[in-house]
C-alpha cells in the first residue's frame, strides 16, 4: 500500500496539480491586493467615495443597552463584499483566459515549426543518399 501511495504521489499529474494550487493561491492574493487597494478605490471615486465593503442592507439594527454596549448585534446583508469578490473573479478569469490563449498560440507556433522542419527533412535527401549517389556517379565515369 505504501508503494502504491508513493507511485500516486510521484505521478506527474499530482505534482503539477500541487504546483498549480500553490501558484493559484499566490495569484489570488495578488489579485485581492490589486482589487482591494487599486481598483476598488478608483471605483469608489467614480461612485462619490462609496466603499463597496461598507455597502449593505441592514435587516436589523444593533441595539445598545444603558451602558452603551451592544446588546443585539446588527444583522445585515453585505452585498458590497459580493461585488468585490465578483470583480476579483472576473480579473482572475480574464488573466487565466489570456494565459491559456498565449499557451495555445505558442503550441500552434511550435507545431507549425515542427511541421516545417519535418517537410524540410522529407524534401531534402539524407546525406548518406547524396554521398552514395555521388560515389555511384563517379564509378560510372570510370
Considering the entire predicted model, what is its pTM? 0.56
Inform me whether the pLDDT recorded for 69 exceeds 90: no
Query: Which residue ranges form the domains of the chain, and what is each CATH number?
Result: 2-141 (1.10.1200.120)
Q: Please give the pLDDT value at position 109.
A: 92
Mean pLDDT estimate for the chain: 83
Q: 63 pLDDT band (50/70/90 cuts)? A: confident
Residue 63 dihedral angles phi and psi, to the nearest 5°: -120, 145
Whole-number percent of the chain with pLDDT over 90: 9
Q: What is the pLDDT of residues 97-123, one digit of tens each?
A: 888 899 899 999 999 998 888 887 777
Name the strand (E) or helix (H) holding 101: helix 79-123
Q: What is the pLDDT of residues 10-48, one digit of tens each?
A: 776 777 788 888 988 888 888 888 887 888 788 778 877
Question: By three-state DSSP, how is residue 72 classified?
Answer: strand
Question: By three-state DSSP, how is residue 38 classified?
Answer: helix
- Distance separating alpha carbons of residues 56 and 135, to the nearest angstrom: 89
Cell numbers 453585505 correspond to what residue? 78
Amino acid at each position: 500500500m505504501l508503494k502504491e501511495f508513493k507511485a500516486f504521489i510521484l505521478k506527474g499529474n499530482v505534482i503539477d496539480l500541487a504546483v498549480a494550487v500553490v501558484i493559484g493561491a499566490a495569484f489570488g492574493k495578488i489579485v485581492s491586493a490589486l482589487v482591494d487597494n487599486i481598483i476598488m478605490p478608483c471605483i469608489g471615486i467614480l461612485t462619490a467615495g462609496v466603499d463597496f465593503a461598507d455597502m449593505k442592507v441592514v435587516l436589523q439594527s444593533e441595539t445598545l443597552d444603558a451602558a452603551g454596549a451592544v446588546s443585539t448585534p446588527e444583522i445585515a446583508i453585505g452585498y458590497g463584499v459580493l461585488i468585490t469578490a465578483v470583480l476579483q473573479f472576473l480579473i482572475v478569469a480574464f488573466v487565466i483566459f489570456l494565459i491559456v490563449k498565449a499557451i495555445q498560440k505558442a503550441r500552434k507556433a511550435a507545431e507549425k515549426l515542427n511541421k516545417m522542419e519535418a517537410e524540410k527533412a522529407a524534401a531534402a535527401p539524407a546525406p548518406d543518399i547524396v554521398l552514395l549517389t555521388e560515389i555511384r556517379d563517379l564509378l560510372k565515369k570510370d
